[in-house]
């Protein structure tokens, strides 16, 4: 129960304040929090070492010293956006018979983020982050993953419906120098998915070092809609991460450890510090991905303008939702369409997260959009997007309860050799999920896109009404999820469910389940058994 002795302000951070930005306020105190945690729920900005002065100008936000309870001020547009937003390249692919094959190599590299010297980083096919993979629904795909790291890794396809053996969870380690070739058929709606390591106990370190990328799925339903889809032009990946830099340019990975993990003081978008995007069209579709290990965001625009939320984790919503902000916890995605006027500049910011998430109160700038003097006309956002069934739990064959507390789920920590439960293929279940801590947690399920049936007995807000694979959990609310296990049975390899705050996941806030045919006996294979098999052969 490591959580319970660790306050948010226990990280030993300094608390010098930048002159250019007012202090954010802490979240409102919960009505009846456990006393041991009350003092830890605090928030602050700190100033930045000289070596990252540029980043300081770019709007930084960090939790640190205690503050009194005041409403959080709006973010202010003081960022010196000075670097063109990097756009991850589209991954090349080739056809091997009817199979579309991508090559992906995890490797070590160096990246100069802030102009002060190289940062040792990890990346796929490059020094930091990875290329954007694109595949069509119905396609058979294979990814030839090579591990060029000095340690094992895995590659998990976050949000993908696929066989457990291809899922890239902790049971599929790739040894240094080894090749892993997961293959599956894309069979889910158009969506913004992503990929990242999932090696048990090492996920946070490897993701933070730079191992992450987007995986876009296209389908005919989405293709038939008049939506922006010119990659990097009016359809833009926005991979948001927070990092801190040490004096020598390296990432800080240990200092500032709090209950959540480490919160960085510098925002990177697609690996770019203080980024701006030159916009040439009236509408921009932004594929927002919170690829941070612990930080929760509430994305909005500095001038408060509204935008259309068109998709969540697993694909398009039924219709656009006019919104002024969209909150994303680690791992969540949202697609938005924002309209710009010729010549204007507006910043994407993060407002203070909903106090109910207990995720701090920092507000800061993220990415500036700079519209050209004349813009290409965009067609109106379609009034209707995708169709999908109502979240009807009448056919669910089982109900399970998941209580998140400390670094445990249902009072247990992850055991690679323990199956927490077994589900049956071609069935759906209701999962009742509750966060017992007035502290940030989330819930992510592999293999499947779920639907939220209710939150504390009420229908979810429209923005949570579509396909989801990750949700932020407000304290002490019951989220009833409709989870379906279509297509893939495997009695030997499990899928994971876990908190997606990566340090919590690494600490064991995770469980695993098998999906089997009716009557099939579970036969979990562990790495040790796999090793024994290899020795026999």
Residues that bind Cu ion (CB under 5 A): 441, 499, 501, 504
Q: Which is nearer to Cu ion, 311 or 357 (CB)?
A: 357
Taking the complex as a whole, the smallest distance from the CB of residue 441 to Cu ion amounts, in Å, to 3
DSSP, collapsed to helix, strand or coil, labels residue 248 as: coil
Q: Which is nearer to Cu ion, 215 or 443 (CB)?
A: 443
Q: Which is nearer to Cu ion, 161 or 204 (CB)?
A: 204
Q: Which is nearer to Cu ion, 291 or 369 (CB)?
A: 291
Which residues, 6 or more positions from 418, have their beta carbon under 8 angstroms from its beta carbon? 412, 512
Taking the complex as a whole, the smallest distance from the CB of residue 507 to Cu ion amounts, in Å, to 9
Q: Could you tell me which of 186, 187, 286, 279 has the C-alpha nearest to residue 227?
A: 286
DSSP letter at 249 equals S
Q: Could you tell me which of 50, 246, 209 has the C-alpha nearest to residue 120?
A: 209
Is the CB of residue 154 less than 8 Å from the CB of residue 168? yes
Q: Which is nearer to Cu ion, 295 or 504 (CB)?
A: 504
Pairing of strands 490-498, 510-516: antiparallel
> Chain centroid to CA 21: how far?
27
Taking the complex as a whole, the smallest distance from the CB of residue 500 to Cu ion amounts, in Å, to 8
Taking the complex as a whole, the smallest distance from the CB of residue 43 to Cu ion amounts, in Å, to 18
DSSP, collapsed to helix, strand or coil, labels residue 105 as: strand
The two three-digit tokens of residue 227, written as one number: 């939506």
User: Residue 57 CB: number of other CB atoms within 10 A?
Assistant: 19
Q: What angle do CA 400, 402, 407 make, to 5 degrees?
A: 155
> Using a CB cutoff of 8 Å and minimum separation of 24, what contacts does 377-381 make?
377/281, 377/282, 378/228, 378/234, 378/281, 378/282, 378/283, 378/339, 379/226, 380/226, 381/226, 381/227, 381/283, 381/308, 381/310, 381/320, 381/337
Q: Where are the beta strands (DSSP E) in 340-426?
A: 345-351, 364-376, 398-405, 408-409, 421-424
Q: Which is nearer to Cu ion, 360 or 491 (CB)?
A: 360
Taking the complex as a whole, the smallest distance from the CB of residue 360 to Cu ion amounts, in Å, to 14
Q: What is d(CA 48, CA 14) in angstroms, rounded to the nearest whole number? A: 10
Q: Which is nearer to Cu ion, 196 or 441 (CB)?
A: 441
Q: Which is nearer to Cu ion, 3 or 44 (CB)?
A: 3
Taking the complex as a whole, the smallest distance from the CB of residue 411 to Cu ion amounts, in Å, to 15
- 385 dihedral zone (left: phi>0; alpha: psi -120 to 50; beta): alpha
Q: Which is nearer to Cu ion, 57 or 481 (CB)?
A: 481
Taking the complex as a whole, the smallest distance from the CB of residue 8 to Cu ion amounts, in Å, to 14
Q: Which is nearer to Cu ion, 241 or 442 (CB)?
A: 442
Taking the complex as a whole, the smallest distance from the CB of residue 158 to Cu ion amounts, in Å, to 16
Q: What is d(CA 270, CA 286) in angstroms, rounded to the nearest whole number? A: 12
Q: Which is nearer to Cu ion, 170 or 228 (CB)?
A: 170
Q: What is d(CA 483, CA 470) in angstroms, rounded to the nearest whole number? A: 12
Q: Which is nearer to Cu ion, 285 or 407 (CB)?
A: 407
In the complex, which residue's CB is closest to Cu ion? 499
Q: What is d(CA 303, CA 357) in angstroms, rounded to the nearest whole number? A: 24
Q: Is 33 exposed, middle or buried (0-12, 13-18, 19+ CB in 10 A)?
A: middle
> Chain centroid to CA 448: how far?
16
Taking the complex as a whole, the smallest distance from the CB of residue 266 to Cu ion amounts, in Å, to 23
Helices (H) and strands (E) in the chain, counts: 6, 35
Q: Which is nearer to Cu ion, 45 or 471 (CB)?
A: 471
Taking the complex as a whole, the smallest distance from the CB of residue 510 to Cu ion amounts, in Å, to 10
Taking the complex as a whole, the smallest distance from the CB of residue 329 to Cu ion amounts, in Å, to 9
Taking the complex as a whole, the smallest distance from the CB of residue 363 to Cu ion amounts, in Å, to 22
Per DSSP, the residues of 196-235 read E---TTTHHHHHHHT--EEEEEE-HHHHTS-----BTTTE
Q: Between the CA of residue 188 and those of 102, 336, 389, what are the distances in Å?
A: 19, 20, 14
Taking the complex as a whole, the smallest distance from the CB of residue 2 to Cu ion amounts, in Å, to 12
């Amino acid at each position: 129960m490591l959580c319970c002795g660790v306050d948010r302000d226990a990280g030993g951070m300094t608390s010098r304040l930048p002159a250019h930005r007012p202090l954010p306020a802490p979240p409102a105190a919960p009505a009846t929090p456990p006393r041991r945690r009350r003092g830890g729920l605090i928030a602050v900005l700190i100033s930045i070492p000289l070596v990252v002065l540029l980043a300081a100008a770019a709007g930084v936000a960090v939790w640190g010293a205690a503050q009194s309870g005041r409403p959080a001020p709006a973010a202010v547009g003081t960022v010196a956006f000075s670097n063109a937003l990097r756009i991850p390249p589209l991954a090349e692919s080739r056809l091997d018979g009817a199979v579309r094959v991508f090559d992906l190599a995890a490797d070590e590299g160096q990246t100069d983020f802030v102009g002060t010297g190289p940062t040792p980083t990890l990346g796929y096919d490059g020094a930091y982050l990875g290329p954007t993979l694109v595949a069509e629904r119905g396609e058979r795909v294979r990814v030839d993953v090579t591990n060029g790291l000095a340690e094992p890794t895995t590659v998990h396809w976050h949000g993908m419906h696929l066989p457990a053996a291809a899922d890239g969870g902790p049971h599929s380690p790739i040894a240094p120098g080894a090749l892993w070739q997961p293959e599956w058929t894309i069979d889910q709606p158009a969506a913004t998915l992503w990929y990242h390591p999932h090696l048990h106990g090492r996920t946070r370190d490897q993701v933070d070092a730079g191992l992450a990328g987007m995986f876009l799925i296209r389908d005919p339903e989405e293709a038939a809609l008049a939506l922006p889809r010119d990659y990097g032009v009016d359809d833009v990946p926005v991979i948001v991460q927070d990092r801190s830099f040490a004096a020598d340019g390296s990432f800080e990975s240990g200092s500032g450890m709090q209950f959540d993990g480490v919160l960085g003081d510098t925002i990177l978008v697609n690996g770019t510090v203080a980024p701006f995007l030159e916009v040439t069209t009236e509408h921009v579709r932004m594929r927002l991905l919170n690829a941070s290990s612990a930080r929760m965001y509430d994305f909005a625009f500095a001038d408060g303008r509204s935008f259309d939320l068109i998709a969540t984790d697993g694909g398009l919503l039924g219709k656009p939702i006019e919104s002024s902000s969209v909150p994303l916890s680690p791992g969540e995605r949202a697609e938005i369409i924002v309209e710009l006027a010729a010549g204007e500049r507006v910043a994407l910011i993060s407002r203070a997260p909903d106090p109910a998430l207990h995720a701090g109160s920092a507000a800061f700038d993220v990415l500036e959009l700079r519209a050209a003097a004349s813009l290409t006309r965009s067609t109106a956002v379609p009034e209707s997007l995708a169709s999908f069934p109502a979240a009807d739990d009448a056919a669910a064959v089982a109900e399970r309860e998941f209580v998140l507390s400390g670094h445990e789920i249902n009072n247990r920590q992850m055991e690679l050799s323990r199956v927490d439960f077994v589900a049956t293929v071609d069935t759906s279940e209701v999962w009742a999920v509750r966060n017992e801590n007035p502290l940030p947690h989330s819930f992510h399920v592999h293999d499947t896109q779920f639907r939220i049936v209710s939150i504390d007995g009420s229908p979810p807000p429209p923005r949570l009404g579509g396909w989801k694979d990750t949700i932020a959990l407000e304290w002490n609310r019951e989220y009833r999820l409709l989870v379906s296990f279509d297509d893939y049975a495997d009695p030997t390899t499990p899928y994971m469910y876990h908190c997606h705050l990566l340090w919590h996941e690494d600490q064991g806030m995770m469980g695993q389940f098998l999906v089997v045919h009716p009557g099939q006996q579970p036969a979990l294979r562990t790495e040790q058994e796999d090793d024994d098999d290899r020795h026999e052969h």
